[in-house]
Amino acid sequence: MGIFSKTCEYAMRAVFFIAHKTAGGGRVGIKEVALGIDSPEHFLAKILQDLSRRGVIQSAKGPNGGFYVDEVILNMPLASIVEAVDGSDIFTGCGLGLEYCSEENPCPIHHEFKAIRNQIQDLLKTTKIGGFNKELNMGIAVLKKQKNLPQ
């Protein structure tokens, strides 16, 4: 796996997709999201239910229902998604997995690793969920596994 869990990767791509589709109003259904980010529908449904419970996206049942975001969510940082799915270990954890690694009690790569952690934190906290809508509209950013998949 990469830096984030697969579940978290799906979550980020889905939230970007939902933000992109519903920033101007409306809702988008799970089928369309799954198709739009090229992910397994039922698995993604579970992830989105969880994100909805945690307030990272919004949802409505019934006809015309679906997932959507409001202005508040558009301005939330990417970190909200990552924390909801993977927890905050990525912001605070030791590179060698030592629970008690700290400034006073550092692991060998503590200081170098802290710099990396901080950079990740910076990316996740300063980037807003709604920050990619322009690129996505213009088609110069992509959310699917492969380029030029149908739909």
Contact map string, positions 3 to 42, toward DNA, x by CB under 7 A: --xxx--x----------------xxxxx--------xxx
Q: How far is the CB of 5 from DNA (least distance, A)?
A: 4
Angle value at C-alpha 28, between 27 and 29, nearest 5 degrees: 125
The residues facing 67 across adjacent strands are 28, 59
C-beta of 89 vs 135, nearer to DNA: 89
Q: Residue 121 binds which entry of a second copy, DNA, none, with Cβ cut-offs from 5 to 8 Å by kind?
A: none
Angle value at C-alpha 65, between 61 and 70, nearest 5 degrees: 105
CA proximity to 130, closest of 43, 70, 65, 61: 70
How far, in Å, CA of 6 to CA of 67, rounded? 21
Which residues bind to a second copy, rule: CB under 8 A? 1-6, 9-10, 12-13, 16, 78, 89-90, 93-101, 105-110, 112-113, 115-116, 119-120, 123, 127, 131-132, 135-136, 140-147
